[in-house]
Chains A and B, each alone.
Chain A
Amino acid sequence: METPADLDARIIKLISQVVPVKPEQIKRGDRLREDLGMDSVCSMELLSMLAEELDLDVGVEDAAGIRTVADTIALAARFLRAKAAA
C-alpha cells in the first residue's frame, strides 16, 4: 500500500523527468512555473504523464488551476482515492 510519502516521491520523480531539476531539490511548496521553470505546455504534459503513470481517470478540465507541486500531489491523491473507492 502506497503511503503519502511514497506518492510524494513518485510524483517528484516524475516532475524531475520533465524539468532539469534533481528530485532532491524539488519541494512540495515549489510553484511549477516560477520555481521549476515549467511553461504551461510543460505543466500540462506533466499532468497527462501523471495520469498515465498512475492509471487515473483525470479529466482535461482538472488540469486548470494546478500551480504547485502540492497541487499536483493533491490532484493525484484525490483521483487515487476515487479509484480505490470505485
Chain B
Amino acid sequence: MSAAAVQPVEVAEPDVMGALLTGVERYLRSEVDAAQIDREGAVPARVLAGLGELGVFGVTIPQRYGGAGLRLTDACRLAAALARADRSIATTVGLHLGLGTRPLVAFGAEGLKQRYLPRLASGEAIAAFATTEANAGSDLSRLATTALAEGAQLVVNGEKLFVTNGRLAKVFTITAATPGLGGAQRGSSLVLLESGDPGLSVGREERKLGLKGSSTAPLTIDGVRIEPERIIGEPGRGADQLHHVLAWGRTLMSAGCCGTARAALVKAIEHTASRRQFGRTLDAQPVVREHLALMGARLAAMEALVHDTASLEDDVPGLLQRSLAAKVFGSDGASYVVDTALQLFGGLGFIEESGMPLLLRDVRITRIFEGANDVLLTQLGTHLATAPPPRRALAPLVGPDAFALACSADVVAAALDAHREELSARHKIGLLRQTRLLNRLGRAVAWSEALDATVRAVDARRTTSRGAAALFSEVAARDVANALAAPFGEEVVSSALADLEPGA
C-alpha cells in the first residue's frame, strides 16, 4: 500500500444518518440559541455534551472504535444541519470530523487508533488540527515547526496559529518538518500531540469578526518529547496526507455553507412574504422575485456539488480536485445568498435581532480558511491545465427530465475544454506561470462542475426543483463565459497599481 493510501472504512447501514439527523435537528431546535452563543463567545458545554451523547462526534469514526462508521456524504448532511442552526457548532464538529480525526482514521497505525479514537468518537475528547504558522499560511511548504529525532524520541518545536477548537481540544494533529525521516530530506509528517504533553501550551482565545462560539487559539510547542509512534502514518509523507485531509475538511466546510445559505434563504423567503411596501408584499416585486429565485438556484447547485464531491470519498484524486471546486463555489455561494438575504431585509437586516448580521459575520471566514479561495482557484486551474480529467458528455447518460439541462452542461464544458486547449497551445508550459489565467480557468471549472452536479441531481431526482436547476444552468453559462474572457491587460493593471502608492 502506498504511503498516502487510504485504509478502507467499514460501511454502515444506509438509514443510520437519517435517524441520527432527526434527533439532532430536534435537539438543535430545543437547545441551541445561536444569538446567545455569539454573545457569550462559546458553545455551552452542555450543548457539546448533548451532541456527544447523540453520537455526533463519532459519525465518521469506524464502528470498531465506537463511531458510526458513516460515509462522507452522511457527514456532509450533518454539517449542513448543524450550520443551519449555528455555524460555530458546525465549525467545532466539522473540524473534529474532518481535519481533526480524519488523519488518524485514514492513516493511523492500529495502536494509535485504539488509543485515541474511542474517546474522540464519544466526544469525550475533541480534536484540532494545526498547520498554519506565521510564515506558512497559504504556502504550506514553509513549515518552521520541526519534529526531530533525539535518541529514541522525537522533540517537537514550533508555533501554530488560528487553531480551531484550540482551547477545547484534547488531541491535536499538527504538521511538522521531519527532515530525514522516512528517507525524505525535506519531508514533513503529521504528528499527534495531547493537550497534557509537557511543553504544549494553548494561547488566549482570538477575538474574531464571527464564529465567536468556535474556539480559535495559537499553539506553542516548546520541546515536546514524544515517542515516534505518535507520527500518524508513514513518516515523511505529511504533504500527501495533508492533501487528503484538506480535501475532507473542505468538503465538510462546503456542506456547512449549504446549511448557512439555507438558513438565510428561508429567512428571506419568510420576511419578503410578510413585509409590505408599495401596496404589496416584497415577494410580489419582480426584482425581489428574481433575487429569491437566483438564491434558490445557487443553493440547489451548491447542494448538488457537495453531494457529488462527497461521493468521491473512495476516489482520492477525484476528491482532491472536486473539493477545490466545492469549497470555492460553496463559500462564494453562501456569501452571496447571505448578503442578498440581508439586503432583502432592508434596514432591519442591519439590526442584530433580525439574525442577519450574525449570518453575515459567520459566513465571511469561509472564503479564507481551509484555503483562501483565490489560492484554490489557481490550484484548480493548474489541475485542469496539466491533467484535464476525462469528461463524458452528460446528454447521452441522462433521462428525459435532465436531457435539456445536460445538453447545456455539455455546451459549457465543451467551451471550457476548447479554451483550455487554446491556452495550452498558445502558452505551452509557460501557462503554469500565468496564474491570473489559471485562476480564471479554475473559476470556470468550479462553475462548470457545479452545473454537471446539478444535472446529475435532477437526473437522480435528488433535487425537487427542476426550475432552480434550469435557472442555474443559465447563470453558470454566463459565469463561465465571463471567467473565460481575457483577463485585464498587464499594462492596465500595472499602471493602475502605480497610482496606488502607499499613503496616496
Using a CB–CB distance below 8 Å, which chain A residues touch chain B? 19, 21, 30-31, 33-42, 44-45, 47-49, 51-52, 57-64
Contacts and interface: CB of A to CB of B under 8 A. Distances in A.
A51 B430 contact: yes
B143 to A, nearest CB: 9
B185 A42 contact: no
Contacts of A59: 424, 428-429
Chain B contact residues, majority secondary structure: helix
Interface in B415-454: 424, 427-433
A58 B428 CA distance: 6
B429 A51 contact: yes
Contact of B428 (A30, A45, A57): A57
B497 interface: no
A34 B236 contact: yes
B184 A31 contact: yes
Given A62-B429, A64-B387, 10 more contacts: A33-B239, A34-B184, A34-B236, A35-B185, A37-B188, A41-B378, A41-B382, A44-B382, A44-B432, A58-B428
B187 A60 contact: no
A39 B428 contact: no
Q: Which of B140, B431, B432, B433 has the most CB of A within 10 A?
A: B432
B429 A47 contact: yes
Contacts of A52: 430
A37 B139 CA distance: 11
Nearest to B3: A34
B379 interface: yes
Contact of A60 (B186, B188, B386): B386
A43 to B, nearest CB: 9
Q: Which of B184, B185, B379 has the most CB of A within 10 A?
A: B185
Nearest to A52: B430
B244 to A, nearest CB: 14
B386 A64 contact: yes
Contacts of A21: 186
A63 B429 contact: yes
Contacts of B240: 33
A76 to B, nearest CB: 11
A58 B430 CA distance: 8
B141 A60 contact: no
Interface in B229-256: 236-237, 239-240
B385 interface: yes
Interface residues of B, number: 29
Q: Which of B182, B379, B433 has the most CB of A within 10 A?
A: B433
B379 A61 contact: no
Given A58-B428, A58-B429, A64-B387, A39 B140 contact: yes
A60 B433 contact: no
Interface in B181-195: 182-188
A55 to B, nearest CB: 11
Contacts of B379: 40-41
Contacts of A44: 382, 386, 432
B261 to A, nearest CB: 30
A30 B179 CA distance: 13
Given A31-B184, A34-B236, A51-B428, A61 B387 contact: yes
A41 B434 CA distance: 12
Given A34-B239, A60-B385, A64-B387, A48 B184 contact: no
Nearest to B384: A60
Contacts of A49: 433
Interface string B398-427: 000000000000000000000000001001
Nearest to A43: B432
Contacts of B239: 33-34, 39
Given A41-B378, A44-B386, A48-B433, A60 B185 contact: no
A45 B435 CA distance: 10
21 contacts: A19-B186, A31-B184, A33-B239, A34-B239, A35-B184, A35-B187, A36-B186, A39-B139, A39-B140, A39-B239, A41-B379, A45-B432, A47-B432, A48-B429, A48-B430, A48-B431, A49-B433, A52-B430, A58-B429, A60-B385, A60-B427
